[in-house]
Amino acid sequence: MAADSPTAAGAPTSGGRDRFWLPVVWVVLSIVGCLLVALVWGPHMPPGAQSTSAASQQFDYRVLGTMATPVVIGVLLYLVWAMIFWRQRPGDETDAAPLHGNIKIQATWIIGTAAIVLFLAAFGTYYLIVPAGAGAGEGPQPIWKPAGTTTSSITSWTPGTSNILQIQVIGQQWAFTYRYPQFGGFETTQLMLPVGEPVQFNVTSLDVIHSFWAYTLGVKADANPGLNNVAYTTAYHTGQFQVRCDELCGIWHGSMYDTGDVLSVPAFMKWAQTTKTQLADVTKLLPPYADSYDPTTLTNLGTVNVKLGLVGAGGGFYNPADPEQP
Amino acid sequence: MSLPARAATLVVAFLAVVAAVIFVAFKFIGAQPSVENYTPYASGGQVNVTMMTAAQTTVTNKPDWVTYFIKNPSSGNFDHTTYFAVPADTRVNMTIYGYDGCTPLRNPLWGKVAGTVGDVENVSFFNGKTYTPSTPLSTFDSWANCSVQHTFAIPGIGLNVPIASVTTFEENSNLCGTSPCTAANQDANAPHTVIKFSFMTPKTAGTYRWQCFVPCGLGYVDGNGGPMGTPGYMMGQMEVQA
């Protein structure tokens, strides 16, 4: 716009074109762009809408994307406009118009973008809080919980009640395992959820830091040894979803993934009861259900293990003087 | 020196550096263990694979690293590698000689046999003199009992096999001291176990990693570095060939 300064000798004299058509083109393109982003691209934005947390994240992206569209179009349009209309003509050796500050434009830009950014900050924060943390790990004492749910029992669960379903996610090099304390505390390599029922994931680790990322459910929580990291979601639809580790955790980090399944409530109950029975012999060997586990010090080791000097499941086989010790 | 000569020198020096980098990358960083190819030895939809665990790797410059060995199907020798190839849609009859001592599992879940034919493994114990009859077992309590030394797990096909250990203090105090634990090393008669199980390979070709779920590399990244994170020791790959 400053290029249209009437004081600039040899400057473009197309003030009408720039002052009228440039904003008009920008408004038209912005309206079209916003509609395309919000209504066409938006429903396909990651992570999808398979759960409450995923849907809330997708809604955030749609709003953010829609609001960013006029800004992006404005920048790109201004660039193209300059290249087409304000380029140097052949034989034109005059200097470009000297640039002077334009208080109106600067103020409009600063106030406008500040308003957008502040609105999006407030909007984003609100939509992180309202859907119970939006699927993110909230630490051991979550502030935002799903409305209408309680943790009245961690040893039993009935569909359709306020008592929330507990699933413990245990990261270890290099696999996730899942424990269901309300079904006798069995642990399995399969992750199954009931559709339409709020779920509380309790995420921990037996060794290094992992990260439980069920990305099409919009759930992501770091798995820290000795810590319980809580995240919530409610699945909207039955079907499979992918789980990956999202924290570089060693040589097989890239292979640390699972395919989970959202089942109908009757199918989930049947699976849980069947698995509970199938795994009964190993379930009784598991430590009592807890928020986290310390496998390096075990108090219930047998006499031979103790006699061999083993105190836990942390290894302990190398001579400290070995030059390969770190 | 003329300009062409300087340019040529520069090009030659650049290529020498690139060649050195490629050599180091392939020779050292990207070095992979050899692959024991069992595919030509498959017959009637089955193939027999033999492996061994040992408490040390005296054939390498890391003598106190625990390790697996795989039997070379051609020579019959145990080679220091953890890579093997088998045909697709084939029953693998695995035999593992377990020459290491016991340790508690970090996660007792891995004490349950999964993914094998019949969800069992057959175990025979050798106390240095006699073998016990091979017995089918499905669950091991490694905390209460000295019963597991390592695991052989292929997560991609849901396979988990606890490698049974000898169970007494005396047996665990007289383990094989030179690996591989063979008659040639006069260590074949050290106390050990013989584990046999079968599993089906996938119907299509692919590469599946396998690993031990016992953190037997303590001192290295929470027990899962060192031999646990190095191809050729406590983890490897099963190449399924079409």
Domain A165-283 classification at class level? mainly beta
- Top pLDDT among A133 and A293 is at A293
What pLDDT, in 10s, does the model give residues A92-125? 888 777 777 888 888 998 998 899 899 988 988 8
Sequence-separated (6 or more) residues with CB below 8 Å from residue A62: A37, A38, A42, A45
What's the pLDDT band for A320 if we cut at 50, 70, 90?
very low
Q: Please choose, from the candidates A309, A315, A278, A213, the residue with its C-alpha nearest in 3D space to the C-alpha of residue B221.
A: A315
- pLDDT (mean) for A183-190: 96
| Domains of chain B by residue range | 1-31, 36-241
Is B220 within 8 Å of chain A by CB? yes
ipTM over 0.90: no
Whether B83 contacts B99, CB under 8 Å:
no
A contacts of B155 (beta carbons < 8 Å): 174-175, 189, 255
Report pLDDT digits (tens) over B12-58: 999 999 999 988 877 776 678 899 999 999 999 999 999 999 988 88
Among B107, B143, B229, beta carbon nearest to A177? B107
- Residue B169: closest CA among chain A residues belongs to which residue? A304
B131 CB-side CA count, 13 A: 12
B104 touches chain A (CB under 8 A): yes
Give the span between the Cα atoms of A188 and A215, in whole angstroms: 20
Give the global pTM. 0.85
Domain at B36-241, CATH homologous superfamily:
Cupredoxins -  blue copper proteins (2.60.40.420)
**Phi (first) and psi of residue B173, to 5 degrees:** -95, 0
Closest CA to B165 of A206, A280, A310, A282: A310
pLDDT in tens, A237-293: 999 999 999 999 888 899 899 999 999 999 999 999 999 999 999 999 999 999 999
Q: Which of A299, A311, A318 to mutate to probe the B interface, most B CBs <10 Å?
A: A318
Q: Is the pLDDT reported for residue A1 higher than 70?
A: no
Measure the CA–CA gap between A150 and A153, rounded to whole angstroms. Answer: 8
Other CB atoms within 10 A of residue B186 CB: 12
Does any CB of chain B come closer than 8 Å to the CB of residue A80? no
What are the chain A neighbours of B217 within 8 Å (beta carbons)?
315
The nearest CA of chain A is from the CA of B123 a distance in Å of 18
Q: Identify the residue among A251, A259, A294 best suited for mutation to test binding to B, counting B beta carbons within 10 A and taking the highest.
A: A251
Radius of gyration over alpha carbons of chain B, in Å?
Answer: 21
CA distance A26 to B233: 63
In eight-state DSSP terms, residue B132 is P
Give the B window 111-130 contacts with A, CB below 8 Å. 111-112, 114
Domain(s) labelled CATH 2.60.40.420 in chain A stretch across: 165-283
Which of A70-104 are b and which e, b meaning 16 or more Cβ less than 10 Å from the residue's Cβ?
beebbeebeeebeeeebeeeeeeeeeebeeeeeee
pLDDT tens across A134-184, in order?
888 899 999 888 989 998 899 999 999 999 999 999 999 899 999 999 999
Burial of residue A221 (number of CB atoms within 10 Å: 0-12, 13-18, 19+): buried
